[in-house]
């Protein structure tokens, strides 16, 4: 059913196109969150040593911290342009690379802890298996 005088895509009803104090406040929160992401990766990158997977985690974290202000400018620029889009495109590589390197690092650290400790890791699936120590 069509209402006379209104198009199917009405900017007045769409929350993405609303302007006002609430819209600006949300943009400020997003900018603050992006800055916090950059500072967290910047200061967290100095935890890693320069050897093995830690070297790559440090490099990607520093690259992500450097690219965070650039992506903030690209994200909050009111006009869309292709060169601006290409300027922010390396953030795709640095953000995903830092997260992957962190996951590989924690996987390696967890495996080393399991090898050196006397704790037994029981997965949730192991509760379904019969206990072989009792039958031997």
Residue 5 in domain: no
Residue 116 in domain: yes
Decide if 98 contacts 57 (C-beta within 8 A).
Answer: yes
For helices 21-44 and 52-76, give the axis angle rounded to 10 degrees: 160
Residue 20 pLDDT greater than 80, yes or no: no
The two three-digit tokens of residue 125, written as one number: 């699936």
**What is the pLDDT of the chain when averaged over all its residues?**
75
Q: How far is the C-alpha of 66 from the C-alpha of 59, rounded, in Å?
A: 11
Cα–chain center distance at 89: 15
pLDDT, tens digit (0-9, with 9 covering 90-100), for 90-113: 999 999 999 999 999 988 887 777
C-beta contacts of 99-107 below 8 A and 24+ residues apart: 100/60, 101/53, 101/56, 101/57, 101/60, 101/61, 102/57, 102/61, 104/53, 104/57, 105/48, 105/53, 105/54, 105/57
Residue 118 pLDDT greater than 70, yes or no: no
Q: What is the pLDDT of residue 3?
A: 55
Residue 44 pLDDT greater than 60, yes or no: yes
Residue 42 pLDDT greater than 60, yes or no: yes
Count of domains observed in the chain? 1
Residue 136 pLDDT greater than 50, yes or no: no
**Rounded to a whole number, what is the largest CA-CA distance in the chain?**
82
User: Which residue range forms the structural domain that includes residue 94?
Assistant: 15-135
Residue 64 in domain: yes
pLDDT, tens digit (0-9, with 9 covering 90-100), for 50-80: 888 899 999 999 999 999 888 888 877 777 7
In the chain, count H helices and then E strands. 5, 0
Percent of residues, the chain, with pLDDT higher than 90: 24
Residue 9 in domain: no
Q: What is the pTM of this model?
A: 0.63
């Amino acid at each position: 059913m069509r209402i006379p005088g209104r198009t199917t895509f009405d900017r007045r009803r769409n929350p993405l196109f609303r302007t006002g104090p609430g819209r600006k406040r949300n943009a400020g929160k997003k900018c603050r969150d992006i800055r916090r992401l950059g500072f967290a990766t910047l200061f967290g990158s100095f935890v890693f040593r320069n050897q093995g997977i830690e070297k790559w985690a440090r490099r990607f974290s520093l690259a992500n911290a450097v690219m965070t202000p650039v992506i903030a400018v690209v994200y909050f620029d009111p006009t869309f342009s292709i060169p601006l889009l290409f300027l922010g495109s390396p953030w795709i590589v640095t953000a995903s690379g830092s997260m992957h390197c962190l996951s590989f690092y924690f996987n390696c650290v967890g495996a080393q802890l399991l090898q050196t400790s006397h704790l037994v890791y029981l997965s949730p699936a192991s509760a379904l298996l019969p206990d072989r120590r009792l039958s031997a």
